[in-house]
């Protein structure tokens, strides 16, 4: 029953978490004020014999105050959110040095295509593995997310990344891992009968270990061809 988020493992996780905690504090405050006020009124103004309620139809000053304050607060939240959003998902947000990786979602698995030695997708040395995403720590990667059959959604809770994969669209999704380790990939959009087990794994390596993994994996896949 925690309102704290689990530790983030990507660069922008802390930006998202900061906005989350800001909203948590603001809405928490509003929640307490309103609920305490409600309970207080219900107690203080409970019916008692011989009393008559105050006859009033309202108060314009009060209306202006409780219209203006929420308006200012939500627009402020909106503006702060907007800049983080643009940084993460905006059109030009993908860092130039991001490693391109192909990510194809299909019922009910993730097909990950690596660029191979030349660092470019769509060339002969590309290789594909199932449900295993390997990335280096401290360097951005960009997934070119596509779907083969129905809509899926690529979700790595630890990275605070989620993006639907839509048939007929290729959507760039970038992130930069900050902590080596293994993290689960989940499908977040109902995609059919096996939706609940459409699970993958991200392994975040130290840079040298990543290079080594790419070499080994490309030879293994080439040998299997």
Partner 1 sequence: MTTPRAGTAAPHVGDLHPHDAVHDHEPSFLRKYIFATDHKIIGIQFLIMSLAFLLVGGALAMMIRWQLGYPGQAMPGGTVLPETMAPGGVIAPEFYNSLVTMHGTFMVFFAIMPLLVGVFGNYLIPLKIGAPDMAFPRLNMASFWIAVPAGIIMIFGFFAEGGHAGAGWTAYAPLSASPEHSGVSLGQQLWCVSLIVLGLSSILGATNYITTIINMRAPGMTWFRLPLSIWALFVTAVLVLLAIPILSGAVIMLLFDQTIGTHFFLRAGEPLLWQHLFWYFGHPEVYILILPAFGMVSDIIANGSRKPIFGYNSMVFAILAIAFLGWIVWGHHMFQSGMNPTLGTSFMISTMLIAVPSAIKVFNWLGTLWQGNIRFTVPMLHACAFVSMFVIGGLSGVFMASTPVDIFIHDTYFIVAHLHYVLFGGSLFAIFAGITYWYPKMFGRMMSRRWGLIHFWLTFVAYNLVFFPMHNLGLGGHMRRIYDPNQYEFLQPLQGLNEMISISAFVLFTAQLIFAANFILSWFKGEKAPMNPWEDNSLEWTVPSPPPHGNFAATPVVYRGPYEYSSPEVEQDFLPQTLRLPTDRPPAAASAGD
Kindly identify the residues of this chain, within the stretch 108-147, that bind partner 1 according to CB under 8 A.
none
Which CA distances in Å does 34 have to 27, 68, 72?
10, 16, 18
Please select the residue that binds partner 1; options are 137, 171, 209, 217, rule is CB under 8 A: 171
Which residues make Cβ contacts (< 8 Å) with residue 162, sequence separation at least 6?
A: 153, 154, 155, 156, 188
**C-beta of 11 vs 116, nearer to partner 1:** 11
**C-beta of 30 vs 117, nearer to partner 1:** 30
Give the range of 13-21, 96-104, 123-131, 211-219 binding partner 1 by CB under 8 A: 13-21
Which of 112, 123, 107 minimizes the C-alpha distance to 197? 107
Q: Which two tokens stand for residue 165?
A: 């994969």
Residue 181 touches partner 1, criterion: CB under 8 A: no
Segment 15-44, which members bind partner 1 (CB under 8 A)? 15-16, 19-20, 23-24, 26-27, 30-31, 34-35, 37-38, 41-42
Which CA distances in Å does 26 have to 2, 22, 31, 199?
17, 6, 9, 35
Give least dist CB 123 to partner 1, A: 26
**C-beta of 41 vs 222, nearer to partner 1:** 41
Which of 135, 147, 216, 219 minimizes the C-alpha distance to 188? 147
Segment 191-220, which members bind partner 1 (CB under 8 A)? 191-197, 199
Per the CB < 8 A criterion, the answer to whether 103 and 165 are in contact is: yes
Give least dist CB 206 to partner 1, A: 22
**From CA 109, how far away is CA 131, in angstroms rounded?**
6
**C-beta of 117 vs 196, nearer to partner 1:** 196
Burial class from Cβ neighbours inside 10 Å (0-12, 13-18, 19+) for residue 9 reads buried
Give the range of 97-105, 112-120, 156-164, 203-211 binding partner 1 by CB under 8 A: 156-164
Q: How many residues bind partner 1 (CB under 8 A)?
A: 87
């Amino acid at each position: 029953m925690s309102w704290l988020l689990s530790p983030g493992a990507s660069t922008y996780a802390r930006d998202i978490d900061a906005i989350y905690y800001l909203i948590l504090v603001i809405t928490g405050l509003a929640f307490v004020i309103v609920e305490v006020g409600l309970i207080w009124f219900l107690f203080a103004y409970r019916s008692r014999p011989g009393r008559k309620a105050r006859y009033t139809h309202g108060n314009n000053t009060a209306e202006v105050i409780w219209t203006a304050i929420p308006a200012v607060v939500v627009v402020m939240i909106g503006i702060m959110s907007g800049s983080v959003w643009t940084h993460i998902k905006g059109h030009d947000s993908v860092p130039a040095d991001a490693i391109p990786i192909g990510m194809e979602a299909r019922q009910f698995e993730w097909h990950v295509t690596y660029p191979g030695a030349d660092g470019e997708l769509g060339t002969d040395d590309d290789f594909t593995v199932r449900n295993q995403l390997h990335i280096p720590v401290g360097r951005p990667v960009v997934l070119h997310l596509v779907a083969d059959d129905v809509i899926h959604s690529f979700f790595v809770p630890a990275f605070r990344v989620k993006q639907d994969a839509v048939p007929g669209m290729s959507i760039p999704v970038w992130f930069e891992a900050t902590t080596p380790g293994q993290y689960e990939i989940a499908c977040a959009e109902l995609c059919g009968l096996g939706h609940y087990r459409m699970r993958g794994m991200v392994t975040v390596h130290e840079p040298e270990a990543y290079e080594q993994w790419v070499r080994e994996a490309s030879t293994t896949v080439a040998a299997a061809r």
